[in-house]
Amino acid sequence: MTHESPGATGTTESPEQVAQQLDTAIAALQAAHRDDPYAPIFEVLDAMVALMRQPGGLEALYERVPALEAAQVFAGSDWDYPATLSAELAWRTLRLGEREATLVEMLSQIRLLAVAQGDYEHPQISAEHAQRFLRRMMALNLDLVGNELGEADRNRPGGLGLLVRDHYHFLLQRLGTEHLAGELAREAWRMLAQQPVRVDTIAHMITRIAIARADPEVDTGADPDGRATRLVNALFTPSPGCADDPGIEQYTKRLDEMAYSDLIAEAQAMGALMRETGLVSAYQPALMQHLRGRHDDLQLTVLGLSSTGCDTLLCYRQLVYALIDEVITPRTPQAAHGLAMLLERGLLHVPGVAAGLWRQLRAPLHEGVGARLTMLFGEAGEPRMYLLADLLCMLGQPLGVGQGNHPTCQSARALSMWAYADPRRLLELLHEVARDDDLVMRFEGESLTSSELPPGLAEGMIADTDAVSVAMVGHLDRIYWEMGRRCAQRGGDPHQWVNPEFHGDGVWRGFRIAVNVATGNIEALDTFIRDFYGACHPYYNGEAPLVHPQPAGIAATDSLGRFLGWHAISIQRLALDETGTMRVYFFNPNNDSAQDWGQGIVTATHGHGEWPGESSLPVAQFAARLYAFHYDPRAHGGGDAVPREEVDEICCQVRKSWGAGR
C-alpha cells in the first residue's frame, strides 16, 4: 500500500471534510478489529496527517481521543499500556522514529493530554501520571519551544519534523512552558547521581535548558534552589574567568594574564562544581593544561580532591601529570572527573594498576580498534585519547558502565565488576584488545580466541556507549557465548560454569536457579528464596558481608509486572538503610538504574544509602525478581529461619508477575 506522506499537499477539502475522512477511517478500523485484533491502522494515520495540516486540526484530533480508543488504534503495541511508557523512549520515537511510529507516538501523547486534563479517563493511567509523563517528555524536547527547526528535523521525509513541532506547540499551549527547565534539571540531577561513564545525553539536556533560558520569549519558570543554574554553569560558565562563556581560545588568553590568586579562584570554582555535579566543562581541561609545569600544586584543587585523592596524586604525580597531558583535553573533559574519582578510590596504590596505565599510555592502537573509535567519536582527536579518557572514567566510576542499546548486559557487567574489584584484569584485557583487536580467554583449561568465534548476541558495531566498551564488548560477547555453547549439553543453566570462568576467581562456584532450563517452569521457589537469604542476607548467613560482587540474574518486568526477559546484574552488598530496612544494593548495566518493575517494586538510585551507580531494593522485593544467583557451597546458611510469611509473600509476587504460566 502506498501511503500519503506527511508533507503531501494539493487537497482542496475543507477542514470539516478532512475530519470526516478521519471519522470514516476510525469507524472502518473499529469494524475491522471485530475480526482481526491486529488490523492495520495506516488509513487512520493518513487521515490523521491530513487533519493535522488543517487549521484547528490538532484540536479536532484531541476531540476524537475517545473514538480512537474505542477503535483500538493502539492494539497489539506498547502504546496500549500507557502506564508502562518511557518518556526517554518517547523522545527518541518522536524525533528519530520512522513515520508510522512517530505518528502513533503523537496520537498516544494527545491521548495522554486528554487524560491529564480530565477530558478522558483511561483505566490504566491517572491524570497525575499522564501529566508527569508529558512534562518529562516535553522537557526532553525543549529545543522545539521556538519556531526554528534543526537540520535533522527539517530533513525528515515529508515534512514530518514540522508536524512534530506543531504537535509539541499544541502540548505547550495546553500545559505551559514554565515547568520545563525545572523538570529537565531534576531529570539531569537524577541521572548524574548514578555517575554514568558517558554523559552525552545529560549534557544535551543541559544545553537545552541553557538555550531556552537565553530565549526572552520562553518562560522556563523560576529556579529557586539554583539547581538548573548550577548545571548550566558546570558546563558553560564554571568559573569567574569564563563567566561569559568566551570560548576556549579566548579563555586560554585570559589565563596567561591571570595572577596566581585568580588561578586559585578558577581552580576552586571548577573543582567544586565538578565534584558537586559530576560534570566537566571544556574550560577545565584548558585550565589544567595551563597549570601544567607552572602551578601543578593547583591540580589538587581543580580536581576537587580530598586527602585520599591528594595522597594518591602526590605518590604517583608523574603518571597523573602524563594522563593530564595526553588524555584530558577540551574534547574529553569528563576524563578529569574520571581521574579524580580514580584518585579518590586510591586505585593507583593497587599493585599493577599504575603500571597498567603507564603501559596503556605508551602502547600502539590497532588500526581496527582505532577505526571503530574514529567512526563513533569523530576525527577531531586521536582515537587512543578517547579510549584512555573513558578508561579513566570506567576505573573511577565502575558502576557507571552502561550497555547502550545492545543485548550485552553480561559484557557490561563484567567490565563493571573488573573495574570495581579487579582493575588489573581489566587493564590486561584492554591492552590485549587495543594491541591486537583480538582477545584470548581461558575456559576450563582451554583457550578461546575471539577472532575465531562466531558472533554472540551483539550485532554490528557496538555504539551508544563508552570507548572501552566499543573496543572490547564485541570480543567479550563472542567468548561469553562460546563458553555457553560448550556447556549447553550439560543440563542446567550454563551460567553455573560460565560466570566464574568469565568474571574471575571472586565469583562463588555454587549456583542456584529458580527455573527449570529445559521446561521454563519454576521449581521449588520457596527453597530457592530461602537459599538466597541463607547465602547473602546478614541475618541468616552469620552476618558475613559480600567481599566480591556476585553475578546474578533477574527476571526483568515492566511497570505492570509483565515479563520482559532475563537480565544480568551484579549483587554488590546487603546492608541496612537509614530506616533499618535491609536492602540489596546491586549494579544494573541497563544505562538508567531507576526502574519500575511493577507490584510497587521501584528501584532506588539515591536516598537509601546507595553508593553512586548502585540500585537498591528491600530484600524481599529484590528476591521477587531474582531467578539465579551464586553462593559459597562450603558456607552454611540459615535460610530455614526466614519467616514463612515473608517467603509466601515473595512467592505470591512471583506467581502474579514473571512467574505467571510457569
Residues 229 and 248 in one domain: no
Give residue-wise pLDDT tens across range 35-76: 888 899 999 999 999 999 999 999 999 999 999 999 999 998
| Residue 2 placed within a domain | no
| Residue 7 placed within a domain | no
Residues 481 and 568 in one domain: no
Domain boundary among 135, 159, 176: 176
pLDDT at residue number 415: 97
pLDDT at residue number 232: 95
Residues 380 and 263 in one domain: yes
| Residue 4 placed within a domain | no
Query: Long-range contact list for 506-509, CB < 8 A, 24+ apart?
Result: 506/421, 506/422, 506/547, 506/548, 506/549, 507/548, 507/550, 507/551, 507/630, 508/550, 508/630, 508/631, 508/632, 508/633, 509/630, 509/633
| Residue 595 placed within a domain | yes
Residues 372 and 521 in one domain: no
CA pair distance 236, 245, nearest whole angstrom: 6
Residues 374 and 337 in one domain: yes
CA pair distance 223, 559, nearest whole angstrom: 31
| Residue 577 placed within a domain | yes
pLDDT at residue number 457: 82
In the chain, the number of structural domains is: 5
- The boundaries of the domain holding residue 584 are 510-655
Domain boundary among 345, 369, 396: 396
pLDDT at residue number 148: 67
pLDDT at residue number 4: 36
Residues 119 and 98 in one domain: yes
Residues 416 and 528 in one domain: no
Residues 287 and 222 in one domain: no
| Residue 159 placed within a domain | yes
pLDDT at residue number 12: 66
List, in sequence order, every beta strand (DSSP E) within 152-241.
Answer: none
Residues 269 and 364 in one domain: yes
Residues 386 and 253 in one domain: yes
What secondary structure does DSSP assign to 248-267, as a single string? HHHHHHHHHH--HHHHHHHH
| Residue 10 placed within a domain | no
Q: Which residues of the chain register pLDDT less than 70?
A: 1-12, 146-148, 151, 219
Task: Kindly state the greatest CA–CA separation across the chain.
Answer: 81
| Residue 252 placed within a domain | yes
Residues 381 and 456 in one domain: no
Residues 32 and 121 in one domain: yes
pLDDT at residue number 224: 74
Give residue-wise pLDDT tens across range 489-529: 888 899 999 999 999 989 999 999 999 998 999 999 999 99
Domain boundary among 480, 503, 526: 503
